[in-house]
Structure 1
Amino acid sequence: MARVRYGPRTEDEIRAAKQARSVLPDIWSTGVVAVWESDPDAVAQVLPAPLKPADRPLVRVNISQVDIFGSPLGAGSFAVAAQHGAQSGWYPLVMPMTTERALIGGREVFGEPKKLGEVAVARDGDAVTARLGRHGIDFVEVHGRVSGELEPPAPAEKVDFYFKFLPAVDGDGFDLDPVLVHCTRVERVRKLEAVDGEVILRESAFDPVADLPVRRLLEITIGEKTSDQRGRVVERVSAEALLPFVHQRYDDPAQVLDSVPLPPQSGEA
């Protein structure tokens, strides 16, 4: 009888897959990063407990493109600076991805707030444009001109905070207690350039990043980077405290607000 591919893998196959994941080659991406100071109250409002605001109300958008084994991938992140105890890091609100594979792995393993979307980085000479889009709206756009080369920084460790959870089958709360994940990356940069430009945040009901306005733009860069990634669960968190923030992960938990409003009927205002 022919082997059914949906059937179980052998122990050797499982072992080989695990080993292959641990020895992935460096994957370099080309990305635009913008950092700005926003409204302190707005940043504080988007942080679920036990996260706290950082010393400065910083927002960072990262828009990258990478070729993974011949398959193009666009990856984005819109995050605010946060603190968990003594650990400083970033709390992403939305992470658009252009492929389902990239989306599922990050959401199911680490709890990343990934959603399918449009991600683009384009360069024409010194002109640079990068954007994040969903539902037909480019809700973040960064554009400008390269103004000069920068010294690539030394390898640096960066931490992102994620909440990993599963909505309950019956629609009431969670199936299991949610957990807070520290995701640590060691980032290496081989090329970095400064960009003089601007960040545009457009109104979107599904990705309301416009609520975190650019009060003072600190920097825009374009560079070539690679990083590893490892995560760990640091604590279980209050389901009651996290429930009001579930809409950050999903456009709407029950999908009841996802439809386009119906046009007025005849005779209605």
Structure 2
Amino acid sequence: MNINDVKNNAHSIPLTSPTYSRGPYRFINREFLIVTYRTDPKKLRDLVPEPLEVDMENPLVKYEFIRMPDSSGFGDYTESGQVIPVTFQGRRGAYVHSMYLDDHAPTAGGREIWGFPKKMGHPCLTVDADTIVGELRYGKVLVATATMGYKFESLDKSAAKATLEAPGFLLKISPHVDGSLRALELVEYRCEDVEIKGAWSGPVGLELCSHALAPVKDLPVLEIVSGAHILADLTLGMGHVAYDYLADSQRQAAPRSVHDRVREVAVAA
């Protein structure tokens, strides 16, 4: 394989048997169970990286279970994790804090392309008689359970669409071959071409359990605010770098030139 062939074919590891397909990535009948709750504001601030800002007066977390039965390139899988409402440069969005999946392809693709904080786990989202139930296990240990009355009340579809279309933020961490950081970036992405097929609410419950390697309880549930069950088609848009941590540190650490020092002396005089 010549150099041009390598360049043209390289989009996923391994080169000759890619883990996932090229985008775009379309999701059909993507099903969400989202529980919004209040948590400890200090713990929230400790876990959300600057320059993202959190609302210390209304410290919210969204615990999500997402069922994806028809995902181009990624297949049939489920994920679960925590998303935190934030602002960035005055714009409202959500920081993806944790994600646990049962499928290797989207785990690898999400980490390599965007920087989604994905780890392998065992989430599920099912309907048990009159209740929609989300469960997350890490290994054999149950670490999260969410329940909501099944389609008790209809939600405004436009509000559900706005929720899914809001910008998302990720912390992409890519090590160099010597173990040092090659990339440390705040990535922004959006869901596109969103079609809401249904949106509902109802009585909701959430329980988080302590686990060393799936520390969802580090953001404890102090008060449940609301629950939402959404069914939608959407495309996961590609991302862009909103903030480069390494470039910022390099600028701060860059030595001043002779001309800079001369100007400083002149201003001081």
Same fold, judged at TM 0.5 (above): yes
TM-score by length of 1: 0.75
Equivalent residue for 2:129, pick from 125, 128, 131: 125
Cα offset, 1:202, TM superposition? 0.3
Q: Which residue of 2 aligns with 1:88?
A: 92
Q: Which residue of 2 aligns with 1:204?
A: 211
Residues 151 and 131 (structure 1), Cα distance of their counterparts in 2 relative to 1, 3 Å cut: same
Whichever structure has more helix as a proportion of its residues is 2
Residues 126 and 52 (structure 1), Cα distance of their counterparts in 2 relative to 1, 3 Å cut: same
Structure 2: distance between partners of 1:10 and 1:205: 40
Q: How does 1:90-105 map to 2 (within 5 A)?
A: 90-105=94-109
Equivalent residue for 2:202, pick from 164, 174, 195: 195
Structure 2: distance between partners of 1:223 and 1:41: 30
Q: Which residue of 2 aligns with 1:235?
A: 243
87-96 or 197-206, which deviates more: 87-96
- Residue identity opposite 2:127 in structure 1: R
Give the ranges of 4+ consecutive aligned residues of structure 1 lying more than 6 Å apart after TM superposition: 9-12
TM-score by length of 2: 0.75
Whether the 8 Å contact between 1:119 and 1:131 is mirrored in structure 2 is yes
Whether the 8 Å contact between 2:26 and 2:236 is mirrored in structure 1 is no
Structure 2: distance between partners of 1:184 and 1:158: 7
Equivalent residue for 1:181, pick from 187, 197, 218: 187
Percent of aligned pairs with the same amino acid: 20
CA deviations on 1:163-211 (whole Å, 9 max, x unpaired) are 212124333x41x241111111244321122131310000011121212
Structure 2: distance between partners of 1:236 and 1:93: 18
**What is the alpha-carbon root mean square deviation over aligned residues?**
3.0
Equivalent residue for 1:68, pick from 67, 70, 74: 70
Q: How does 1:212-251 map to 2 (within 5 A)?
A: 212-230=219-237, 231-238=239-246
Structure 1 gaps, min length 5:
242-269
Structure 1: distance between partners of 2:52 and 2:94: 10
162-171 or 178-187, which deviates more: 162-171
- Residue identity opposite 1:149 in structure 2: E
Q: Which residue of 2 aligns with 1:32?
A: 33
Residues 145 and 136 (structure 1), Cα distance of their counterparts in 2 relative to 1, 3 Å cut: same
Whether the 8 Å contact between 1:147 and 1:196 is mirrored in structure 2 is no
CA deviations on 1:49-101 (whole Å, 9 max, x unpaired) are 22221362110011121222694211223122222211222112211111110
Cα offset, 1:118, TM superposition? 0.7
Cα offset, 1:137, TM superposition? 2.1
Greater gyration radius: 2
The number of equivalent residue pairs is: 229
